[in-house]
A and B are shown apart, each in its own frame.
Chain A
Amino acid sequence: MLRETPNSLNPQLPKHIDEPSLIVLLRQKDKHALAYLYDHYAAALNGVITRIVKVEDVAEEILQDVFIKIWDKIDTYDPDKGKLFTWMLNIARNLAIDKLRSKEFSRQNKTDQLDNNVSLISSQSYVEQKVKDSALIDLLRNLTPEQQMIVHLIYFEGYTHSEISDEFNIPLGTVKTRIRSALIKLRKILQIP
């Protein structure tokens, strides 16, 4: 039904579009489909990006790039490999991490780093020190300190699992199983069947 309506589409899309139809519309370069995507997911993606890059303006720049990339690269998205949101999430996460590691960005923060010497974070005090973010605190409250730390590093600080292993001296296998046990707990908290 939606397939044959490239430009003559009603400006108001239905309140809910199922994912396959949404993907078809995006592939047809339907602007309303992107607007729909934005309305439903921009804030979620922005949350992820903001926690990685920490600066609101920079986060919004990246968010903009994320949506442009979604628009340009939707043909490379393969639904067999994962949900649309997972694909978008990884685009957002990767762009944010790229920014975090870019020369330009590290230059901005360099003068701070010169004064800051080494700061060590133990997993016990990790949450009080790092997470001053009520939405996250609520979400992570029932996790063990180790689980909180790993979720925070991976999901909100842009670490890869191997970087955590290197930097915090935790064996790779332990990192993996901790991610898993944390996500299982989160699954219960978020009431996913």
Chain B
Amino acid sequence: MNIEEYIASGILELYTLGELSPTEMAEVEEMSARYPDVQQELDRIQETLQAMALQSAIAPRPALKNKILDQIGTPATTPATTEAAPVASDASPITTNNKGRQTKTVSWLQYGLAASIALAIVATLAAFYFRSQWKDTEQTLNSLQTQNLQMAQQYKTASQQVDRLSQDLAVVSNPDFQAVKMSGLDPAPNSKAQVYWNPDSRQVYLKVNEMPANPQDKQYQLWAIVDGKPVNAGLFDITGEGAQPLMTMQNISNASAFAVTLEPRGGSKSPTMEAMYVQGAVTSS
């Protein structure tokens, strides 16, 4: 292998950063043992990393040094037992058996008491600790659940919209449906709506592009003119402005025209002519 290429590949940098697999590491070690150039390059990389770290050092708080040295200092287990021993052994060698036994019993009681107090404290602390842990987890869970719910709602709305749009599109793009354009009349000249009518299946859909919202006590009514007479084709409400979703109306055959009037809520038997908002004739194709 070409040593220069090997060095240039960047493998020695990864070795120094401890990012190689054991096999790759063994390979680097073998190469560095065999080729002084590899070893020299490894030394330089290490020196660079060290110099970088020294150059961008951040001093820890001064107290940390003693904290660490204390922790590694004396073996942690010995002092506790040597402190405990004298209490029990103080009295026993000099005093009588009886007294010795008494002090022993007392000291055992003391130990027992101390131990149970310690246990109670530890248990309380543990309870607080776990409680706060649990609180945190619960909070995270809540916020995730809320998010999840919002997403689910958004998804539902979006998918409903998609469903409706694709249904609408199926009607609008179906060549069997005839579009009947209805333009605004006196009460609201800017009104605009379209009927999609399939003469064979008799299905009628209504698309309102622009019509004023109807009062609470009234409703719009769609009429079809069949053989010169108006026939009820269904009631609907307009609550908002602008284009409304496609509405399914009553089936109609042999229509020559369509119109919409404003009627008392519940509809009328025959249209109120002066309250006609839009109308349009079926163009025979």
A interface residue numbers (CB < 8 A to B): 31, 34-35, 38-39, 42-48, 50-51, 59-60, 63-64, 67-68, 71, 80-83, 85-86, 89-90, 93-94, 107, 110-111, 114, 133, 135-136, 139, 154-155, 160-162, 173, 175-180, 183, 186-187, 190, 192
Contacts and interface: CB of A to CB of B under 8 A. Distances in A.
B6 to A, nearest CB: 12
A67 B64 CA distance: 11
Contacts of B147: 114
B78 to A, nearest CB: 15
Contact of B58 (A50, A107, A177, A186): A50
B42 interface: yes
B282 to A, nearest CB: 52
24 contacts: A39-B65, A42-B60, A46-B60, A47-B57, A51-B56, A60-B60, A64-B64, A71-B72, A83-B46, A93-B18, A107-B136, A110-B140, A111-B143, A114-B147, A135-B55, A139-B55, A139-B56, A154-B17, A161-B17, A176-B14, A178-B10, A183-B45, A187-B44, A190-B48
Given A50-B58, A86-B49, 14 more contacts: A42-B59, A48-B53, A60-B61, A64-B64, A82-B16, A82-B46, A83-B47, A85-B53, A86-B16, A86-B46, A93-B17, A93-B18, A139-B52, A173-B10
A176 B19 CA distance: 11
A114 B46 contact: no
Given A63-B60, A64-B64, A179-B10, A107 B48 contact: no
Interface residues of B, number: 46
A45 B144 CA distance: 37
